[in-house]
Amino acid sequence: MRPCWRIKASFRLTIKTRSFTVSTRSCQRLKAASSEFSRQLEDIHMNVEARLATLIGPAAGRLHTARSRNDQVALDFRLWVKEELQKCEGMLTSLIAAFLDRAEEHAETVMPGFTHLQTAQPVTFGHHCMAYVEMFGRDRQRVRHAIEHMDESPIGAAALAGTGFPIDRHMTAKALGFREPTRNSIDTVSDRDFALEFLSIASICAVHLSRLAEEIVIWSTPQFGFVRLSDAFSTGSSIMPQKKNPDAAELVRAKTGRINGSLIALLTVMKGLPLAYSKDMQEDKEQVFDSAESLELAIAAMTGMVRDMTIRADRMKAAAGSGYSTATDLADWLVREAGLPFRDAHHVTGRAVALAEQKACELAELSLADLQAIHPDITDKVFGVLTVEASVASRTSFGGTAPSEVRMQIAWWRTRN
């Protein structure tokens, strides 16, 4: 737990009612005194009140009027989670920008596309980068929706039933930076949906980061050699001088289990609680604080890695043509040019791949006579689609891997904020 944080969170609260205002200067002095937490007092709320009393005198005793610890802690926690979501939004925007720059730089860099981690069809590295732009773009959108969902002020709900004091919850909500006050006092003090939603968003984002980390780990192996990480994001072995370990990516991958565990932990805490407040809910903070710290670290590390890593286009291109990755292009050509039904074209292509395997050569290295022996309608025009460059250039459907499409998607994302 981070008790010092709790003090700082409470100090963020700007207290403003019709009869009582704590000046900005006083709040600054409270914040500066955050290290003076006394365990002789019952909790953080009493510490704030005691500290305020030393600054402004007996008027501090009015601090608890029309309030309860239940709505106060709900307020503090919402303020913190809202601020954290806003921070995550900015960090995700930076990560997306890093991918857009790499995608633009490598819109024509050919690499193998995989399914089942087996070579499937050639794609461009720019297109692959844009897949992550889409993923992290959805994460950012979820963050924005979460901010909108939670933009309601709990203060004034008191213990669970509201208050008889003539308070103006709408004014207080605006003073605290919320859109409006919550609408049911019982739900207000028992609600931790905003914390669960934060953890849910964090978990999904962490999964995306972990998938990327896994690819970087694979790509940086000598067997693939698609990327090279600098010393800033890798370490050497203590006994094997030739090794360069992608430690940063591995740690990002590991953080996912920790964040996912926090989501399950808080869901389990909340699942059996009757309305309204129960002390069980005190267990919400540790999970959220830890996940926020882990997620921030993972996003920052991954943004750095994306910008830092050296792309080895030669290795990518060499691998792009392996495993007969242009076989689908041959089948498509047979459908377009020879008029074959796709199932027949698939069968013909399978025979061509088998012949290439027998001859230990690539499809493009088969002779026209070889191909015509499999199907007489094949002409020399077929060789125009059997290179990896021709393959990616032909995928011009919306959202496809053709460089022209990749650049169009980059331009669209550049207009998003």
* Residue positions annotated with a catalytic role: 116, 237
**What residue has token string 């596309």?**
113
Q: Count of alpha carbons within 13 Å of 26, Cβ hemisphere only?
A: 18
C-alpha distance from residue 68 to each of 64, 134, 160, 171 (Å): 7, 43, 9, 18
Q: Which residues contact 301 (CB under 8 A, 6 or more apart)?
A: 233, 248, 251, 252
Q: How far is C-alpha 402 from the geometric centre of its chain's CA atoms? A: 26
Counting runs of H as helices and runs of E as strands, what totals does the chain give? Answer: 16, 8
How many residues make up the chain in this entry? 417
Residue 153's closest CA among 118, 122, 191?
Answer: 191
For 344, residues 6+ apart whose C-beta sits below 8 A from its C-beta are: 334
Question: Long-range contact list for 94-98, CB < 8 A, 24+ apart?
Answer: 94/303, 95/136, 95/299, 95/302, 95/303, 95/306, 96/133, 96/136, 96/137, 96/140, 96/413, 98/303, 98/306, 98/307
Do residues 288 and 199 touch, judged by C-beta distance below 8 A? yes
Strands 227-228 and 118-124: unpaired
Pick from 357, 355, 336: which is nearest to 345 by CA?
336
Contact 159, 143 (CB under 8 A): no
Q: Answer whether 35's CB lies under 8 Å from 11's CB.
A: no
Measure the CA–CA gap between 221 and 117, rounded to whole angstroms: 15
Q: What is the spatial distance between Cα 133 and Cα 89, in angstroms, rounded to a whole number?
A: 14
CB 178 within 8 A of CB 152: yes
Please tell me the distance from the alpha carbon of residue 241 to that of residue 246, in angstroms, as a whole number. 14
What are the structure tokens assigned to 306, written together?
């994306």
DSSP H/E element including 279: none
